[in-house]
Structure 1
């Protein structure tokens, strides 16, 4: 049993949902993990390995470590296409078939133009954030060599470092909020329907605008679960990433209808 990418001329309509829906999304996401545990853990393990890779190769370059950590969060929706597809398959099969891991790994081919443009736009944002982060390090640390990550963490709360921390994390929050708003339902929508990147992003921003409290809570939950994964030396990501990915698919289903 298989499913194909749906071409649709239906008009997407963004709905208003209560903040309590976030618990429903998590509950449904956990249900999907139990339905397809091996496939879910495959994607979770991939994120764990990525975390170790970043730590190993960039431990001596703090400006890159922080930027790549932001990339790790910002690129989540794009990297989680496979999880969205697994959730989509389980929804379509409704217990009458098994989700295909291979299908999920190539699901992006169904709307390759939209996903490709999104990847380009994401790369532009990440590159801009990378350049801004380097500029801030150069402005606030007037030294021949960039400080180590240990020096930054050790001196983070010193009064003289407060301007740097405020500017750096304020800028990071801006980039994260921008990408979150543009992608929170855009990626599942591009997987589900043959829509272009801009249309999907506009609907994503509209979903956030219509559901500010709900989407703010959802963002806090995503950050919290990601933080748990990082706090456990990345091992927690093996569960938190599939949970967020599956739950995000159900968020899309509740937030968008078609007429």
Structure 2
């Protein structure tokens, strides 16, 4: 056996041990309950540093919302409107990868470019598809659960107040449970996938772990996201041009402050 083979065999167990020692879940910092307010301020700063690119992303979200509302109005189905917007909310985190890339570039002292966003997205396409597929499965399960909830509201006649209240309470609880699952799984996982050479499962588990260990702050962040969505509805989606990019950038800032991803290599194209 040659010396080179001997050295290779000696290094193999060390490499394997290194892989085994890598944690399956990234640790996280304990953050203050008001930390999301700081993320929001930093997100708005990122927006001002790349206004045209930010508004381009925001306009895409606004146009998508208009198309959903228009199609639902044409088919005359309010239920369809709710379902389509639910799909948009469920799959929205995967669509925000470009926003994370903009903040990532700013973080590294780079000038944000749409071409670079597309390149990063292409490199992370595999993990994005895994994550998007998981969200799609969750949405389909939610849609089936929503259909089952309809048994509490007989549609053959006009429901009375008691039946309507039962339907609204049960439907809201079911929807909230699915929303919490998506929120916990996505709030930090996609920024981590953008930033580190990490698989989708590890990123999702790290996100859930960080949310559970910072419940107060993450509740505030969820309320801020909800508020931005409601503002979009109240302005006929015009506010999405600004609010959704800011939320995307703030999510990146929250990830950077919360998740400790040192065990995973950074993207070599953006590593400082």
- Band the TM-score falls in, shorter-chain normalisation: 0.7 to 0.9
Aligned residue in 1 for 2:154:
141
Aligned residue in 2 for 1:247:
250
Aligned residue in 2 for 1:79:
95
For structure 2, the 5+ residue unaligned runs are 1-18, 264-272
1:50 to 64, 77, 80: 64
Task: Give deviations 1:95-120, integer Å, cap 9, x for gaps.
Answer: xx421012213422222221111111
Task: Give deviations 1:154-205, integer Å, cap 9, x for gaps.
Answer: x8x9333000001111111111000000111000001111111110110000
Of residues 116-125 and 56-65 in structure 1, the stretch that sits farther from structure 2 once superposed is 56-65
Is contact 1:77–1:187 with CA below 8 Å preserved after alignment? yes
1:100 to 113, 118, 128: 113
Aligned residue in 1 for 2:142:
129
Is contact 1:78–1:119 with CA below 8 Å preserved after alignment? yes
Greater RCO, CA 8 A, separation 6+: 1
> Larger radius of gyration, structure 1 or 2?
2
Aligned residue in 1 for 2:78:
62
Where do 1:184-203 residues align within 5 Å?
184-203=187-206
Is contact 2:55–2:241 with CA below 8 Å preserved after alignment? yes
Relative to structure 1, the CA distance from residue 128 to residue 64 in structure 2 (aligned partners, 3 Å threshold; closer, same or farther) is: farther
Task: Give deviations 1:39-81, integer Å, cap 9, x for gaps.
Answer: 0000100011011111011132232221222222222211110
Aligned residue in 2 for 1:31:
45
RMSD over aligned Cα, in angstroms? 1.9
Task: Give deviations 1:202-253, integer Å, cap 9, x for gaps.
Answer: 0000001110010011001001111101110000111100010000000000
Of residues 110-119 and 242-251 in structure 1, the stretch that sits farther from structure 2 once superposed is 110-119
Task: Give deviations 1:104-163, integer Å, cap 9, x for gaps.
Answer: 13422222221111111111011111222223235523329xx9xxxxxxx8x9333000
Aligned residue in 1 for 2:36:
22
Aligned residue in 2 for 1:88:
104
Is contact 2:152–2:167 with CA below 8 Å preserved after alignment? no
For structure 1, the 5+ residue unaligned runs are 1-8, 148-154
Q: Distance in 2 between matches of 1:139 and 1:161?
A: 8
Where do 1:161-176 residues align within 5 Å?
161-176=164-179
Is contact 1:63–1:134 with CA below 8 Å preserved after alignment? no
TM-score normalised to structure 2 length = 0.82
Aligned residue in 1 for 2:184:
181
SS at match of 2:111: coil
TM-score normalised to structure 1 length = 0.86
